[in-house]
Each structure stands twice: as C-alpha cells, then as structure tokens.
Amino acid sequence: MATTGKAAPTQPKSLESVKDIDHFIKTEGLDTAREKEIGQHIGYRYDVNLVPDYSRLTPFLKTYMETMGWDDLNWLEDVHLGYEEGRAAVFDRNINGWVTVPENMKLPDNQQDRDMLARELLIKFQMSKRHPMVDLRKAYKKF
C-alpha cells in the first residue's frame, strides 16, 4: 500500500479530551437562530447518531405522536438516557432534575432504544399524579 506522505487526521484519545461538539464544527459562529438564542450548537445537526431512529419507536411513543398530531418527536428529540449518581436516569426540564429509571428495569443495549425508553418514561412520569407539577397545579389553578 502506497503512502501519500500526508499525516492521518488525529482523533481524540478519549471523550474527556473533547470539551464539546464545537471542537468538530467547521463553520464560524452559531448558524441557526435557535443556536444563537441558546448560545451553543445543537448537537444532532452535526452528529447523525443523535438523530432519533424512528424505526425504533416504542408502541407508546407511536400512539403519543399520533394523538398529538406530530410527524416527528418534536421536543422529545433531545431527550436521551443519561446517568445520575451511577443510576440510569432521564432529565426532566420541568422540575430541573433527574428522574431515575426503576432499578429492576432491564435496559436495551442499543443507545437509540435506550433513548426511546427514556422519552417514554419521561412522558409517563410527567403525566403521572406523582409529578411535582401536579401539586403546583392544585395550588395555583384558577378554576
């Protein structure tokens, strides 16, 4: 195999050596109005792995999207399964906190499936009577 004399592009040795997605972006500044508004790049615009794979929708999410009249996951696209204090969890922006996944729940190996599960769990928690917003509604509703 012949070599061209060009150095191979360097890859980060670990995720810790990469501060954020901006490291990989070749454009100047923030491109979209939303990126300018939030002051950061929207990751899935640059990393196809962050775009939801709709073939992996759970039955609940399919029904939810149909009920809402959505063609896509809308605000749920940037919901991903993460970890809080070593436990699988999903972040709920409404309460500004993590909702942990039940310990006995078996998690899928595929990250897309894990993210779909996180989206489903978040919606179900937000609709449950245990969600903290229920107490606020009771205290502050007008009618």
Distance between CA atoms of residues 69 and 63, nearest Å: 10
In DSSP notation, 3-50 reads --SPPPPP--SSGGG---GGGG--SSS--SHHHHHHTS--GGGT-GGG
pLDDT tens digits, one per residue of 102-123: 999 999 998 889 999 999 999 9
Yes or no: say if 117 and 107 are a contact pair by the CB < 8 Å rule: yes
Domain boundaries, the chain: 54-131
pLDDT tens digits for range 35-92:
666 555 555 555 555 567 888 899 999 999 999 998 888 788 888 888 888 899 999 9
What pLDDT is attached to residue 8?
42
Q: Say what the pTM is.
A: 0.60
